[in-house]
Amino acid sequence: MKSQVVGLRVASAIFGLVCLCHVLRLVLGFQILIGSHLFSRGLSLIAVVITGLLSYWLGKLACPRTQPPPP
């Protein structure tokens, strides 16, 4: 059980870093060019939303609230 929590925390941190990279791309105006295809900033905006939500969701799964035992 402990290894699952560690895995969720690591995945949450990775998605958080990817989200941060996309935010920096939007703010600083970096361009992504793969081959001859230039990727628009709109894709980074979508990636910020998706990776941000995934990071938040996995973080919540890794740290569940403790519920009091039933009476």
DSSP state of 35: T
Q: Are 63 and 48 in contact (CB under 8 A)?
A: no
Say yes or no to pLDDT of 43 above 70: yes
Q: Are 39 and 32 in contact (CB under 8 A)?
A: yes
Residues 5-19 pLDDT 10s: 899 999 999 999 999
Q: What pLDDT does residue 21 have?
A: 95
The chain-wide mean pLDDT, for the chain, equals: 90
* pTM for this prediction: 0.81
Say yes or no to pLDDT of 66 above 70: no
DSSP H or E segment with residue 13: helix 2-28
